[in-house]
Amino acid sequence: MKIFARITGTGSYLPEKVLTNKDLESMVDTSDQWIRERTGILKRHIAETYQTTCDLAEQAARRAIDAAGKRPQDIDLIVLATTTPDKIFPSTACLVQQRLDIHGCAAFDVQAVCTGFIYALSVAEKFVSTGAARCALVIGAETFSRIIDWTDRDTCVLFGDGAGAVVIEASEVPGILSSHLHADGAYETLLHVPGGVSRGYNMPDAEGDPHYTRMRGNEVFRMAVNTLGRIVDETLHANDMKKSDVDWLVPHQANIRIINATARKLNMSMDKVVVTVDQHGNTSAASVPLALDTAVRDGRIRPGEVLLLEGFGGGFTWGSVLLKF
């Protein structure tokens, strides 16, 4: 009999500190009106200096495990998506494992920037559906504020910190129906942090400080809209489904205009799209599980409904997961 991986619990966490559009007006040459109109973002949450990605991930993970009615000791796989790990090593997944007092199960990070959670969920699903794991914890967590130049208005108004998590368990009933992962490294420099461990940070030719995120926003925007439109078709075709079969779109939360465009592609009214970008901006790998948890906890998403999760980010990377909740 086929084994499916089914989401049995969701959780999320946003740090308490809030940075509003008004706050940003006193930091860079921007306005609340510009940010609202161009991005849909009203505020973002920022980790305190003592809070790390692992701290955020732990909170989201505990909430997801509780919601699934499990104990940390039931978890037999941890896959964590982040672009902003606490340390070069061990992986943040291992740090979360330590916090949860779990010992022995596989734990590793995946790096696909804003598509990270989609990648992590797809990888964990493979473990569960092949019988290699029975109860996996999948986390997307970021302290993206640490790789933002807070004097660069092109990027600093867009991003925030947060974490989201799900527990997926082996099940005879669906479950994750399919996942679709893609990347094209040819677009490296449209969205990147130029410096790094191996390359170092000493590159006088880099535009701006090589520690921080550089983005050619307009080009990324156009690619994101086109690519996400294509992945909607690919996902529905693979499952022999119609647009009207999808109950909820749970998109990466980068910009309300990108989300609107994907919803239009699905002929979906915006009340069937989970939008949280207004509340926390672009939290990279955390954004899809944050949105998912919000709509599960407020009762919008009901058991048995069909969800389309999708993401697009640096790399470029992009992907989708279609599932029955």
Catalytic residue among 114, 192, 255, 280: 114
| CA separation for the pair 66, 63 (Å, rounded) | 5
Catalytic residue among 192, 252, 255, 280: 252
CA dihedral 102, 115, 253, 281 (to 10 degrees): 70
Other beta carbons within 10 angstroms of residue 266's beta carbon come to 19
**Min dist. Cβ of residue 152 to ligand UT7 (A):** 9
| CA separation for the pair 295, 289 (Å, rounded) | 10
**Min dist. Cβ of residue 77 to ligand UT7 (A):** 26
| CA separation for the pair 72, 78 (Å, rounded) | 11
CB 279, CB 43: distance < 8 Å: yes
The residues of the shown chain that bind ligand UT7, judged by CB under 6 A, are 30, 34, 38-39, 114, 153-154, 157, 217-218, 220-221, 224, 254-255, 258, 282, 312-313
Cβ closest to ligand UT7, residue 248 vs residue 316: 316
Cβ closest to ligand UT7, residue 34 vs residue 150: 34
**Min dist. Cβ of residue 180 to ligand UT7 (A):** 18
Helix (H, G, I), strand (E, B) or coil at 34: helix
Pairing of strands 106-110, 77-81: parallel
**Min dist. Cβ of residue 143 to ligand UT7 (A):** 16
Cβ closest to ligand UT7, residue 67 vs residue 286: 286
Cβ closest to ligand UT7, residue 98 vs residue 260: 260
The residue assigned the tokens 């094209």 is 184
Q: What contacts 90, CB < 8 A, 6 or more positions away?
A: none
Active site residue 252: yes
Annotated catalytic residues are: 114, 252, 282
